[in-house]
């Protein structure tokens, strides 16, 4: 029996409402969507890197804020997204789809709370946390009962949009005007927004042009056909974008924003974006500045 036949699959026939353009069980009877599963490693890598950076800062500093579990929560959420999305694309089951969908909200909600309460006192922060928790519980209940995807998608995009807008305001209020630190932060924010939007459009094209993409992959053959698995690229793009905004928000809210950014504190390509054209970096101007210093 063909390995792409769901009846021959280890997990049985799909029960999830969502299914993507990648041919099911084309590579292995144990993996429903090979590239869509494998590409989730990006979330796990960035989540682990973020946790390691917080741990490193905690060891170098006597200030306990680096050991604050609330700072680590978004990175744990990023790891959870990777694991849950991997489980979903591995099996295409209803319960793993719910794990994947809900892990996205469990990751974005703590970041949303941080950007909304950056200038709030403890009481206001607790009230906002309670409101967000209530909204999240209602969303979870509605999504798991109805298994609809529109409200889930709209609420996720809405949350990401609010985080982006509030992050821009934090950059303006918590960095020194015309400082190198502000330019570096802007570089990462701009790049994060661009790559997140690129991922979103790849996700749309993967659905809209599935027939064309399937025929193109059949014509190209493996392994180059993997390049046209656009949902896998959505994982990579959003993994990078999510990490950048989590790291930037943490940098701004924690009070580190007045200093120049140490590139080693941010994973690539965030470190590159902080000194790229996204940050207004011009090699010619930099060369002239170095010549003046000499």
Query: Within a domain: residue 239?
Result: yes
- Taking the C-alpha atoms of residue 220 and residue 243, their distance in angstroms, rounded to an integer, is 33
Rounded distance, CA 278 to CA 276, Å?
5
Domain that holds residue 216: 6-293
Rg, C-alpha atoms of the chain: 21
Domain tally for the chain? 1
Distance CA 51, CA 59 (A): 12
pLDDT tens per residue, range 29-70: 999 999 999 999 999 999 999 999 888 877 776 555 555 677
112 and 162 Cβ atoms separated by less than 8 Å = yes
Nearest to residue 107, comparing CAs of 140, 77, 69, 143?
Answer: 77
Q: Does the annotation flag 251 for ligand binding?
A: no
User: Across residues 258-277, what is the average pLDDT?
Assistant: 78
pLDDT at 256: 63
Q: Is 138 helix (H, G, I), strand (E, B) or coil?
A: helix
Count how many residues are written for the chain. Answer: 294
pLDDT given at position 293 = 40
What distance lies between CA 88 and its chain's CA centroid?
A: 17
Range 130-142 average pLDDT: 93
Look up the CATH number of the domain holding residue 198: 1.20.1070
Which runs of consecutive H residues, i.e. helices, occur in the chain?
34-38, 41-60, 69-91, 94-116, 122-146, 150-174, 180-208, 210-220, 230-253, 270-273, 283-293
Task: Give the C-alpha separation, 72 to 204, whole Å.
Answer: 31
Any binding-site annotation on 291? no
The per-residue pLDDT of the chain, averaged, comes to 86
What sign does the CA torsion over 27, 33, 35, 38 have? Answer: negative
Sign of the dihedral through C-alpha 190, 196, 201, 202 = positive
Q: How many CB atoms lie within 10 A of CB 257?
A: 21
CA dihedral 90, 268, 273, 74 (to 10 degrees): 60
Query: 221 — phi, psi (to 5°)?
Result: 80, 165
- pLDDT for 56 equals 82
Residue 33 among known ligand-binding residues? yes
Would you say residue 205 lies in a domain? yes
Q: Annotation-wise, does 231 bind a ligand?
A: yes
What SS3 state is found at 117?
coil
Alpha-carbon span 44 to 83, nearest angstrom: 7
* Percent of residues, the chain, with pLDDT higher than 90: 56
Four-CA torsion 247, 249, 255, 260, nearest 10 degrees:
60
pLDDT at 66: 53
- The pLDDT score that the predictor gives to residue 149 is 83
Please tell me the distance from the alpha carbon of residue 147 to that of residue 112, in angstroms, as a whole number: 24
Is residue 10 a part of any domain in this protein? yes
Q: What is the pLDDT of residues 168-214, one digit of tens each?
A: 998 888 877 777 888 888 999 999 999 999 999 999 999 999 999 99
Whether residue 138 is contained in a domain is answered as: yes
Question: Does any domain span residue 1?
Answer: no
Q: Is the pLDDT of residue 154 over 80?
A: yes
């Amino acid at each position: 029996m063909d390995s792409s036949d769901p009846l021959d699959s280890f997990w049985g026939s799909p029960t999830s409402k969502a299914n993507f353009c990648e041919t099911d069980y084309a590579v292995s009877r144990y993996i429903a969507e090979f590239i869509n599963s494998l590409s989730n490693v990006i979330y796990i890598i960035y989540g682990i890197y973020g946790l390691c950076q917080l741990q490193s800062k905690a060891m170098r500093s006597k200030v306990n804020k680096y050991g604050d579990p609330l700072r680590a929560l978004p990175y744990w959420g990023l790891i959870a997204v990777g694991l849950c999305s991997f489980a979903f694309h591995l099996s295409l089951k209803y319960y793993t789809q719910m794990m994947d969908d809900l892990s996205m909200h469990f990751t974005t909600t703590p970041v949303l709370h941080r950007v909304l309460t950056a200038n709030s006192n403890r009481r206001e922060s607790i009230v906002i946390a309670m409101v967000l928790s209530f909204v999240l519980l209602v969303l979870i209940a509605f999504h798991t009962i109805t298994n609809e995807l529109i409200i889930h998608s709209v609420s996720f995009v809405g949350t990401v949009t609010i985080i982006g807008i509030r992050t821009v305001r934090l950059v303006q209020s918590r960095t020194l005007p015309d400082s190198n630190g502000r330019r570096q932060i802007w570089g990462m924010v701009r790049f994060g927004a661009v790559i997140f939007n690129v991922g979103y459009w790849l996700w749309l094209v993967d659905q809209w042009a599935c027939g064309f993409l399937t025929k193109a992959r059949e014509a190209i053959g493996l392994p180059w056909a993997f390049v046209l698995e656009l949902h896998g690229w959505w994982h990579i793009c959003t993994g990078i974008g999510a990490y950048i905004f989590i790291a930037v928000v943490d940098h701004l809210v924690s009070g580190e924003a007045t200093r120049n950014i140490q590139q080693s504190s941010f994973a690539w390509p965030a470190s590159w974006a902080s000194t790229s054209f996204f940050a207004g970096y011009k090699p010619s101007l930099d060369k002239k500045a170095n010549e003046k210093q000499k």
